[in-house]
Structure 1
Amino acid sequence: MKFRWTSVAWSIVYLLLLLSLSTPLLIITTLFMIIPAVVLFTTLNTRQFILHILPVLLIVGLITPVYILIAAYFLIPGLVMGRFYKKRASALSTLLAGTVTILGEFLLLLLLGTALFNFDLSNYVNDVLQMVNSPLSEFGTTSQIFTDMGFSSEQVRQISVLTVQMIPMTMIVTSFMIAVITHSIVRPILNSMDYAVPKLKPAREWRLPRSVIWYYLAGVLLQLLFSKPEGNFLLVISANLLPLLRIGFMIQAIGFFFFLAHERKWNKSVAFLLAVPVILLPSLRIIGIIDLVFPLRELVTKSKR
């Protein structure tokens, strides 16, 4: 069996990650939970994969049965990404497949919670904020400091509405980040096991379609026309669309700096130094917008001649 001992080691890693869910480390280890399943599924055939996973599930089930459901939850995106790796699909296709699968699971959990347990996300967020705010309001009766910190019930309600509106974007970003973390770790591991995996395009080639600028303008227009925060579907769309597009513009700006460094034959460290302010100062995404609307890269290439 190829990679026998390596595969056993990854099975043990998967078991330890699952057991870590009962510790405070779960906040960190959850981000890496998909990795062992991806490595095992990519490097083994179906029969071998099952033989490695079953003992892990049995041990976890004997300790805490509910962990079997959690393991199955993380296995699904692992199988999807592993299948794309087996097909030698492009890195972007694999990332998108992983992101969509994780996002779909998030939505499925929310749907099941609502249908089976009458879980109301809006009420839950509002209750949590009210619970946090209550001690501040009580202390505020005797301390001006806490009075300044405390919010009224109406303010808390508005914050909860805005929080719920931002959940779709949060789910998308979280799903994408988990997929990116998984790919960035799995790819060198698979390469070290003589299993070649396509890599992402170099940063200098990162470009958004120009049509994105129209989506951004539409989002800004929706935000200007619809100011009522509650119960407005169009405002929910703009509230989630605009932050996602702004992140895209930041990526576009970073891509431009790497393109500029490549064309000018600068050291790569220069490109990294130029990219850091874009991350720390979101307003610099304007560079990405300009690069998207105007042919900046073509100008850089012409000036080089």
Structure 2
Amino acid sequence: MPNNQTKKLVQGSMAVALFTIIILLAFYVPVVNIVAMVFALLPIAWFTALHDRKDSVIVVIAATLVATLFGGIMILLLALVFVIVGFVIGDAIRTKKSKIYLFMSTGTALLFTFALQYVVLVKFFETDFIKESMNMAKASYEQSLKLAEQLPMQQSLTTENLEEVFRMMEAALPSTIILSAFILAFVLISINLPLLKRFGIDVPKFASFKMMRLPRAVLWYYLIVLSINLFVQPEVGTFLYVAVLNASVVLWLLLTLQGLSFIFFLLDEYKSPGFLKGLVVLIALPLYSFIILLGIIDLGFNIREYMKDKIQKK
């Protein structure tokens, strides 16, 4: 028992010390900070995966306090993001949760910490970085338009068009933030899980991208949103407009991923060279409508089995 307590104390101290060093690098050292932020959650996730929640919460609090002590109050918000996300990942691994649960809980934790940061910055520091970024981008585009007016060429974008584009961007901010959080969650999980496995942690395995299958309910959501756009046509600026626009962005991305997954499945069945997958990803953006259509067909009909049987008979 004493040996176990000593081991736990040593591991907890290591996790706190490593987290503090990495978070200080992430906050103060340019260039290195990008790499450091990717691995900042690793010490917390490692300790949490090995020990119960009570001990892990103590380490999370200690790591946050020590990092703030050495880095100052401004580092607190950054530290909170990674201790919470590290705790969520480690706890999901320790309790043997599924890979989908791990991904969803990590994305949700990132959304929560981003929202917390935003509220604190707006309320206590009077800094609305989202609004400031939008204003800077808008000012930059307006300046570009003024310069373009002096050149003997036809303008493809007017001031009215620009206003409409930025209104749409502002309305789509919720879905953009949600998608960004879950993309970041996927990146953090993909990088840190193999490292945790090297440290002897039993981590869940993610299925190949070509096996991705969204719930069929996604098709019904897409049909509802499409019907509202076609028949109701919400007025710009209304709540329904914002809700439908954000739902559309999320559904388009999901169906695009489903379409890409189907193409990857076919390429592997035909034993095509790997570079073709990279080529498909490159052309997915200009041909996103076709990719979405493939995603809809893949979800709505069981064509993978049909294609697999057809390929095997050749």
Q: Is TM-score (shorter-chain normalized) higher than 0.5?
A: yes
* Deviations 1:75-111, CA, capped at 9 Å, x for gaps: 1122122111110111111100111121123334445
State which of 29, 44, 47 in structure 2 corresponds to 1:40: 47
TM-aligned CA deviation for residue 3 of structure 1: 11
TM-aligned CA deviation for residue 50 of structure 1: 4.3
* Deviations 1:127-165, CA, capped at 9 Å, x for gaps: 334533454466567x3279959853x555433321211
Q: CA contact under 8 A between 2:60 and 2:83: conserved in structure 1?
A: no
1:33-112 matches, within 5 Å, as 33-44=40-51, 47=55, 50=58, 54=62, 57-111=65-119
> 2:274 is paired with a residue of what secondary structure?
helix
How many residues in Structure 1 have an aligned counterpart in Structure 2? 301
2-side partners of 1:233 and 1:71: how far apart? 35
2-side partners of 1:216 and 1:20: how far apart? 40
| Equivalent residue, structure 1, for 2:139 | 131
| Equivalent residue, structure 2, for 1:22 | 28
> 2:201 is paired with a residue of what secondary structure?
coil
| Equivalent residue, structure 2, for 1:289 | 296
* Deviations 1:238-285, CA, capped at 9 Å, x for gaps: 212222222212222233234435555x36837735753564542341
2-side partners of 1:131 and 1:261: how far apart? 45
State which of 229, 238, 242 in structure 2 corresponds to 1:232: 238
> 1:245 is paired with a residue of what secondary structure?
helix
* Deviations 1:19-65, CA, capped at 9 Å, x for gaps: 33234434565454433322232235554784697367425423322
| Equivalent residue, structure 2, for 1:167 | 173
Q: Structure 2 counterpart of 1:61, which letter?
A: L
Q: CA contact under 8 A between 1:278 and 1:284: conserved in structure 2?
A: no
Q: CA contact under 8 A between 1:222 and 1:235: conserved in structure 2?
A: no
TM-aligned CA deviation for residue 193 of structure 1: 1.8
Q: CA contact under 8 A between 1:256 and 1:291: conserved in structure 2?
A: yes
Q: Structure 1 counterpart of 2:191, which letter?
A: I
1:211 aligns with 2:217: yes
2-side partners of 1:65 and 1:119: how far apart? 16
Q: What's the TM-score, normalizing by structure 2? A: 0.77
Q: 1:121 to 1:191 in 2, by over 3 A?
A: closer
Which ranges of structure 2 fall in alignment gaps of 5 or more residues? 1-6
TM-aligned CA deviation for residue 2 of structure 1: 7.2
Identity within the alignment, % = 24
* Deviations 1:1-21, CA, capped at 9 Å, x for gaps: 279689838843652333332
Q: 1:166 to 1:4 in 2, by over 3 A?
A: same
2-side partners of 1:279 and 1:301: how far apart? 23
> 1:144 is paired with a residue of what secondary structure?
coil
2-side partners of 1:271 and 1:2: how far apart? 49
| Equivalent residue, structure 2, for 1:241 | 247
Q: Structure 2 counterpart of 1:291, which letter?
A: D
TM-aligned CA deviation for residue 66 of structure 1: 1.7
2-side partners of 1:279 and 1:57: how far apart? 46
Q: Structure 2 counterpart of 1:85, which letter?
A: I
> 1:196 is paired with a residue of what secondary structure?
coil
TM-aligned CA deviation for residue 174 of structure 1: 1.3
> 1:195 is paired with a residue of what secondary structure?
coil
